[in-house]
């Protein structure tokens, strides 16, 4: 995978001249406008599936045969943290406008009230509960990065309503989470450049398959029917990165979570699909990997190697696009020297990776959604007010005149020496004052990354900060206590009322 990444990154970067980069960085959101990734036109021949099995059967065997007791302790712990972090950001995201709109629509549907909609006062069908949960968890772009972007983001939103209606035990919920993340890793690593070069949003392209596998476990779908589940989910996959910076980005996550539940429910009932939907001609990998390097090697060690342990994930310390977090932390490191001299700033330049350049822009945001991908806003806010936490991404916050003034001095460009930004996303922020003084800060690994992980105290602080938008501290503490005890409890029945607003 590393060789493939380096090879194609060199091709992409060598093809981008200075004038191209200048044009890209003038865009309000680079991924939406001019920084479209290269789209090779040739279709490469599909590789041969491992072990003589269909890929969907490899996934089915893992879903059915996985035993939590055999998983590494670190995989179990990381699944617990993934559940905690995702539910936390869901409790904050459910208070965003995008969630309010979805809730209005879902309530108008009048579905069977079977499953809890996290942070809300009503129940819905498992599919529609997953839809709202998925939008809420991705609404603030505060959910973790795994493999390629937020590839496993739909897993927890999808399995929560299924776990409730099936009365799954805490151990089963943790097992389903691990299954979802490991399947996401295999799908994502097999076509690693589908997002950064192909332009697809891995939340909807990869996450739906991972969530469908996880739901199949909780629904106890028979081994022979899981390939149908995977095939259905493969046909529902999608998500265009052009919609980053809009409400449609979190909709990708809700859509994937809902369709994952649907795929598992249909497959369990005998709804058919092509068992070669993943590797077949005009199938998932041929279509989403058109012109890219696709390999099925990651499927060979599914169930033997745990990518939750080997690769891990990056938790987010700030509720915005993760590729900009190193720029934010570079600005925060410079703040003590500059906070009293903001009016003297002549220019601020951000040198970023290729992927950061595709996802973030330098124009001032016109909306809260834009703000999450505006380097100008995030860097300026960090210098003026400090860490951009939840309160930084509101309509009131983006009207701040002092932040606007500092943001007008921000420029950015892609620096090939910083690498592609496919996992690490280093950044260099350079500030020049009117008198010629220059301050520079480089940050290679942001808080929450594998190299700079959050402590348990930081994880709990983030959870409480998010939960405060929906619950009083004593209720948030009760929810956190349940999650911290995973997977030891005998029942999860007491959890569902805790995450509903009365």
The pLDDT of residue 195: 82
The pLDDT of residue 48: 65
Query: DSSP 3-state assignment of 34?
Result: coil
Stated pTM of the model: 0.87
Q: Which of 36, 18, 14 is nearest to 27 (CA)?
A: 36
Which domains, and CATH codes, for the chain?
54-310 (1.10.4100.10), 322-443 (3.30.1330.120)
* Residue 323 and residue 355 in contact, taking contact as beta carbons nearer than 8 Å: yes
Q: What is the 3-state secondary structure (H, E, C) of 446-490?
A: CCCCCCCCCCHHHHHHHHHHHHCCCCCHHHHHHHHHHHHCCCCCC
The pLDDT of residue 18: 34
Burial of 477 (0-12, 13-18, 19+ CB in 10 A): middle
The pLDDT of residue 125: 98
The pLDDT of residue 46: 57
Q: Which residues contact 41 (CB under 8 A, 6 or more apart)?
A: 291
The pLDDT of residue 45: 52
Q: Where are the alpha helices (DSSP H) in 32-125?
A: 55-65, 73-93, 97-109
Q: Which residues contact 68 (CB under 8 A, 6 or more apart)?
A: 76, 171, 174, 175, 178, 487
Query: DSSP 3-state assignment of 156?
Result: helix
The pLDDT of residue 479: 97
* Residue 140 and residue 92 in contact, taking contact as beta carbons nearer than 8 Å: yes
The pLDDT of residue 208: 98
133 phi, psi to nearest 5 deg: -60, -40
Distance CA(466)–CA(90), nearest Å, equals: 8
Local mean pLDDT, 10-residue blocks, the chain (502 residues): 35 32 35 39 58 91 97 97 98 96 95 96 97 97 91 97 98 98 96 84 95 98 98 96 91 98 98 95 92 91 95 95 94 97 97 86 90 95 97 96 97 93 90 98 96 96 96 97 95 95 87
| Element at 429 (helix H, strand E) | strand 427-433
Q: Which residues contact 422 (CB under 8 A, 6 or more apart)?
A: 5, 9, 148, 192, 196, 355
């Amino acid at each position: 995978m590393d060789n493939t990444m380096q090879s194609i990154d060199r091709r992409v970067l060598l093809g981008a001249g200075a004038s191209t980069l200048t044009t890209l960085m003038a865009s309000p959101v680079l991924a939406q406008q001019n920084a479209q990734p290269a789209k090779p036109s040739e279709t490469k021949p599909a590789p041969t599936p491992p072990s003589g099995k269909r890929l969907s059967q490899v996934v089915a065997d893992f879903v059915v045969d996985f035993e939590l007791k055999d998983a590494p302790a670190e995989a179990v712990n990381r699944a617990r943290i993934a559940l905690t972090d995702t539910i936390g950001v869901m409790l904050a995201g459910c208070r965003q406008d995008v969630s309010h709109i979805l809730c209005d629509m879902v309530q108008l549907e009048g579905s069977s009230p079977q499953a809890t909609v996290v942070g809300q006062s009503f129940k819905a069908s498992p599919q529609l509960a997953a839809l709202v949960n998925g939008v809420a968890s991705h609404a603030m772009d505060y959910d973790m990065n795994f493999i390629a972007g937020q590839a496993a983001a739909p897993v927890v939103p999808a399995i929560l309503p299924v776990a409730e209606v099936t009365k799954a035990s805490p151990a089963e919920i943790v097992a389903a989470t691990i299954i979802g993340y490991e399947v996401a890793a295999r799908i994502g690593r097999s076509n690693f450049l589908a997002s950064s070069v192909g332009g697809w949003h891995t939340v909807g392209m990869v996450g739906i398959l991972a969530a469908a596998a996880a739901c199949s476990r909780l629904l106890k779908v028979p081994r022979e029917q899981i390939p149908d589940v995977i095939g259905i989910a493969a046909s529902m996959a999608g998500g265009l990165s052009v919609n980053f910076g809009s409400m449609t980005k979190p909709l990708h996550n809700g859509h994937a979570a809902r369709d994952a539940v649907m795929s598992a429910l249909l497959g369990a009932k005998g709804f058919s699909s092509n068992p070669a939907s993943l590797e077949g001609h005009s199938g998932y990998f041929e279509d989403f990997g058109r012109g890219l390097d696709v390999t099925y090697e990651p499927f060979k060690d599914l169930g033997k190697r745990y990518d939750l342990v080997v690769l891990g994930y990056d938790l987010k310390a700030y509720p915005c696009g993760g590729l900009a977090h190193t720029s934010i932390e570079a600005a925060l490191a410079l703040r003590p020297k500059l906070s009293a001299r903001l009016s003297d700033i002549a220019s601020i330049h951000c040198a970023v990776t290729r992927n950061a350049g595709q996802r973030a822009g330098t124009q001032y945001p016109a909306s809260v959604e834009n703000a999450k991908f505006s380097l100008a806003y995030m860097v300026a806010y960090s210098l003026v007010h400090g860490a951009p936490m939840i309160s930084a991404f509101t309509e009131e916050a983006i009207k701040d005149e002092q932040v606007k003034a500092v943001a007008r001095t921000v420029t950015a460009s892609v620096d090939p020496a910083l690498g592609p930004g496919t996992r690490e996303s280093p950044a260099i922020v350079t500030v020049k004052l009117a008198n010629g003084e220059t301050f520079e800060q480089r940050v290679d690994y942001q808080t929450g990354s594998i190299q700079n992980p959050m402590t348990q105290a930081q994880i709990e602080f983030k959870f409480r900060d998010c939960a405060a938008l929906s619950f009083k501290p004593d209720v948030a503490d009760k929810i956190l206590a349940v999650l911290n005890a995973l997977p030891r409890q005998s029942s999860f029945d007491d959890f569902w009322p805790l995450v509903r607003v009365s």
